[in-house]
Structure 1
Amino acid sequence: MIQEYIEERRLKGISEKTLELEEAYISLFLSFVEGQYEKSLELYEIRSSDVTRFLDEQSENNSDHTIIRKISVLRNWFDYLWRMNKIPIDYMAKFKYHRVLDPGKSTIDFSYQQLLEGKEKVLRSDISLNAKVVFLLIMRGIRVRDIRSFTLDWMGEEEGVTTLIFNGGMEREFHVIFTEPEEIIILSDAKIQAIFRGVPYLVSTRIVGEGAYTQFTENAMHTALSRLQEVLGLPVTAEKVRKSYLSYLINEKGYTIDDLVHHLGFRWETAAGVKKSIIES
């Protein structure tokens, strides 16, 4: 169906460059859905929630301007499917993304090198242990949702090496290895803190009005990031740090698509899209 859609758009005079981009976005979306359900779905089985999850993932590596463009492409694609009687309802006609998007938003306000230079200041500051763990993990490109859900079962410790194993379900399993003494001490302290608090999570937060602890909340993450902003003097967010890390790996370290797949657990299609986005930004 993609080729038929592209041909219809071509007959309307859409440029080949735009058509190439639209085909890539639609293929990326369908690949995401297939990876999410671990099987191919009929087009009529795809739901608006799948679009939302796709955009949430894409938002971690793309500017708001690009997300807006992807929504537009998917809206045109689903309109075509509806007109061709391939889907019973065109939910994209009234689709509204849950996050306010700013087409003029800058993707990165600082370099990864600035973060590296501020690392010692963060690790030796008086901010919370949770905030320091968050800093170490977003510096390695770990998503917020994976930080919040990470449990001690996936943490390995050997002499001089601490390994965290991540598996987001839709992506491949990958290992994040820490060898610097200060980093290892912080992660070890976080493990001890979790055991003391009686929770399986590497980072946790107190339940309001109770003495018990639970999974790190979005508010707790916001507080941790705010403290990191104060220490670093930079407008850091998890998304921007992740983008700066990916830019560093691709532009400074020369990471290939295969390297991103191996070291960050991306699907190949995701890695290709990330590299293209970084190079074009």
Structure 2
Amino acid sequence: MPFGYTKHLEDQGKSQGTVAGYLKTIDMFFVYLDSVYGKQKEIYEISPKDIKGFLEAKLASGNEVKTVNKHLTILKGFFDYLWKIGKAPIDPAVKIPRYKVGEEKPSILMYEDLLDILPQVIHNPDYNSLRKTIFILAIKGLRSSEFQIPKENVIDKNNIIEIMLKKHVVRLEGIEAEEFLSYYFEAQLNGSNYLFITRKHDDSIVPVENMSIYMHLNVISNDYDFPTKLTLNSIRHAYAYYLYTKERMTIEQIGNKLGIESESAANLVKTSQERHRKGKELLEIEAENIVE
């Protein structure tokens, strides 16, 4: 770690395991910045907004509040150190409060809402092809590991795109296929055999990591005012609920659609139903409180 921070931690008596944990958080933060800005940010350019965005992305990816607060504590210590040695003109983390474990808020993510905003996302002039393509594939129920797609697994069949995943095939047509191809051609120059990548802070390239995906979903969540943060997990559950209740698919058909065993599909549908029921109950309670 630059600026002698590793030695500073060791001088404080931190164990090797603790130091490694601190450095991992700091590295994840800079990877997040690289993903957001497409370049390395100088220390003096880092703002409180950047730190808050990183923490929100960790929450969106499923991290518990206590884990996110731990990340915040580590970043506070790091930027306090940089400020004290004169490497940062201000401390961007000093006034950021810790997250509180609040009361559960009503939130139901409906797949129909994702379908409704799909055209808006695709035609959003402020979004690049990468963000649009991530959203297109996210609403197909992909898990994070399934975004690690070798370029050779993409097949163009006369306006129909087939993406060969390990256990199933995703097909795109029409405007979805057009947008995907736009990104696919751009990705030919990304210096990797993979379609989606994460460029690390040291300029190394690896298959896309969770944080890179969730950063884009987090932006869409905020821009389109979803009741809950969009995550691959929440989208997948909303998709399963939609296939079962609206498309009237059987458990076996849903399993084939998502590339999972029937037992896993049954558990997914069951969990999605429980989430929907719980969210609906919370909304009803909130409505009653408003009336009273």
TM class by shorter chain equals 0.5 to 0.7
Deviation at 1:217, TM superposition (A): 2.5
Which residue does the alignment assign to 1:195?
188
Alpha-carbon distance change, 275 to 109 in structure 1, aligned in 2, over 3 angstroms: closer
Alpha-carbon distance change, 277 to 222 in structure 1, aligned in 2, over 3 angstroms: closer
Q: Distance in 2 between matches of 1:110 and 1:155?
A: 30
Alpha-carbon distance change, 270 to 197 in structure 1, aligned in 2, over 3 angstroms: same
Alpha-carbon distance change, 158 to 139 in structure 1, aligned in 2, over 3 angstroms: same
Which residue does the alignment assign to 1:114?
113
Q: Distance in 1 between matches of 2:180 and 2:107?
A: 27
Deviation string, structure 1 residues 114-171 (Cα, Å, up to 9, x no partner) = 1111111111112232221111111010101211x1111211111110011211xxxx
Secondary structure, counterpart of 2:257 in structure 1: helix
Count matched residues: 173
Secondary structure, counterpart of 2:161 in structure 1: strand
Q: Residue 219 of structure 1 aligns to which amino acid in structure 2?
A: M
Q: Tell me if the contact between 1:191 and 1:202 (Cα under 8 Å) persists in the aligned partners.
A: yes
Which residue does the alignment assign to 1:133?
133
Q: Tell me if the contact between 2:238 and 2:272 (Cα under 8 Å) persists in the aligned partners.
A: no
How high is the TM-score relative to the length of structure 1?
A: 0.56
Secondary structure, counterpart of 1:201 in structure 2: coil
Unaligned runs of 5+ in 2: 1-63, 65-100, 278-292
Unaligned runs of 5+ in 1: 1-63, 65-101, 168-172
Instruction: Please say if 1:177 is aligned against 2:171.
Output: yes
Q: Tell me if the contact between 2:129 and 2:179 (Cα under 8 Å) persists in the aligned partners.
A: yes
Q: Residue 176 of structure 1 aligns to which amino acid in structure 2?
A: V
Q: Residue 137 of structure 1 aligns to which amino acid in structure 2?
A: L
Deviation at 1:219, TM superposition (A): 2.6
Deviation at 1:245, TM superposition (A): 0.8
Q: Tell me if the contact between 2:237 and 2:271 (Cα under 8 Å) persists in the aligned partners.
A: no
Equivalences for residues 90-101 of structure 1 within 5 A? none
How high is the TM-score relative to the length of structure 2?
A: 0.54
Deviation string, structure 1 residues 60-81 (Cα, Å, up to 9, x no partner) = xxxx9xxxxxxxxxxxxxxxxx
Deviation string, structure 1 residues 42-70 (Cα, Å, up to 9, x no partner) = xxxxxxxxxxxxxxxxxxxxxx9xxxxxx
The equivalent position to 1:277 in structure 2, one of 266, 271, 281, is 271
Deviation at 1:193, TM superposition (A): 2.0
Deviation string, structure 1 residues 4-37 (Cα, Å, up to 9, x no partner) = xxxxxxxxxxxxxxxxxxxxxxxxxxxxxxxxxx
Q: What is the aligned-residue identity percentage? A: 19
Which residue does the alignment assign to 1:161?
160
Q: Tell me if the contact between 1:108 and 1:243 (Cα under 8 Å) persists in the aligned partners.
A: no
Q: Tell me if the contact between 1:107 and 1:240 (Cα under 8 Å) persists in the aligned partners.
A: no
Which residue does the alignment assign to 1:259?
253
Deviation string, structure 1 residues 195-240 (Cα, Å, up to 9, x no partner) = 1112122222333243x64322333223211221133221312111
